Homo-oligomer: A and B are copies of this chain.
Amino acid sequence: MAIAREAEPVGSLKEVEDAGLDREDLLQIYRNLLMTRGIEERGHILYKQGKIPGSFYTGRGNEAAAVGVATAMGSEDVGTPLHRDMGVHITRGVEPWRIFAQYMGRVDGPTKGRDGNVHMADDRLGLIAMVSHLPAMLPVAVGCALAFRIREEQRVAVGWFGEGASARGDTHEAMTLAGTRHLPMVFICDNNQWAYSTPSHLEYASEHIADRAASYGFEGVVVDGTDVLAVYREAKRAIEKARAGGGPTLVECMTLRMEGHAVHDDAFYVPKELFEEWAARDPLERFRTWLREHAELSDDEEHEIAGDVKKVLNEAIRRAEESPLPDVDTLLEGVYATPEELETPHHK
């Protein structure tokens, strides 16, 4: 029994303009999608070249969901994106070279080499760095929303979780607190159908994750996560509703994880046909086609954007490789914060 609303795909340019996006915004979204995928593709190559230590994760297939939601956020809003949400970092403005520096464990990554992968965020951009433990950042996001509510600010917190992590108690406690207090909180489920090798039916037993929103006292909506504009529209609705005091929403973005869990995993357990089916719905291709059909994206524009992204990436990798590895003498620094750090809080 489905309880949540299932969102329609986005049709016309008119509809998009009603949702507050002009053509520049659309091109920026396109650029962000390309940049997101580009970073992860380049990262993958660097990884194979042995330049990235540890393991390596990508969000291939999830670019539209991440970029769509982040585009809907206000500049003062905050969020806790996860390992498939590179698009959120890009959209919020993290400089690509710093991401490569992070991947390679260099001092110019947001964690200065203390952590790897997408375990990072630039808090000046309103993002809070994830931990591995899923979805431990959801209650933290709810806490941000609580602070906004206490201070009566018109700000919203956005928290991400996977359909696998939906099984954990933290997801429930976060939704319970947000729901009982009607906090300005939006929950985004990156539902990519697999949690490592585990299929959805072993993680939850309802039709949709969004169905459970009703039992937390708020709305749930399921959206095609490959349709960046539909994701944007639903996220925008949810965020503005929260901002207006309407309480939380759970937005479930349906995608397929288009690669293995991490690069070591060939995803043998995912049926081939499923990959083929979702490859045909590639979020970048889909948006490119839409832009051509509805927003007159020209060949020239397309090449310009692609060329620009490529240049940024080349330059970013170069710059990241120049960034030094951390000095071992810094190993013991920063276990504890100093009082001065609270004098200039990243966020008021």
Contacts and interface: CB of A to CB of B under 8 A. Distances in A.
Contact of A215 (B176, B215, B218): B215
A205 B212 CA distance: 12
Interface in A200-232: 201-206, 211-212, 214-218
Interface residues of A, number: 26
Interface in A173-204: 173, 176-177, 179-180, 201-204
B167 A173 contact: yes
Contacts of A203: 176, 180
B206 A180 contact: no
A168 to B, nearest CB: 7
Contacts of A169: 168-173
Contacts of A206: 214-217
Contacts of A201: 180
A3 B215 CA distance: 9
Contact of A205 (B1, B205, B216): B216
Contacts of A214: 1, 3, 206, 211, 215
Copy tally for this chain in the complex stands at 2
A171 B206 CA distance: 16
Task: Identify which of A168, A176, A211 gathers the most chain B CB atoms within 10 Å of its CB.
Answer: A176
A171 B215 CA distance: 14
Contacts of A204: 176, 179-180, 215-217
Interface in A300-343: none
Contacts of A217: 204-206
A189 to B, nearest CB: 13
A185 B170 CA distance: 23
Interface string A272-287: 0000000000000000
Nearest to A179: B205
A207 to B, nearest CB: 9
Contacts of A211: 214-215
Given A3-B214, A211-B215, A215-B215, A180 B168 contact: no
Nearest to A176: B167
A211 B172 CA distance: 15
Task: Identify which of A3, A172, A204, A215 gathers the most chain B CB atoms within 10 Å of its CB.
Answer: A215
Contacts of A176: 167, 203-205
A285 to B, nearest CB: 34
Contacts of A205: 176, 179-180, 216-218
Contacts of A216: 204-206
Interface in A235-282: none
For the complex of A and B, the 3 pairs showing the least CB-CB separation, nearest first, are A169-B169, A205-B217, A172-B172
Given A167-B176, A180-B204, 9 more contacts: A3-B214, A167-B173, A168-B169, A172-B173, A176-B205, A179-B205, A180-B201, A212-B212, A214-B215
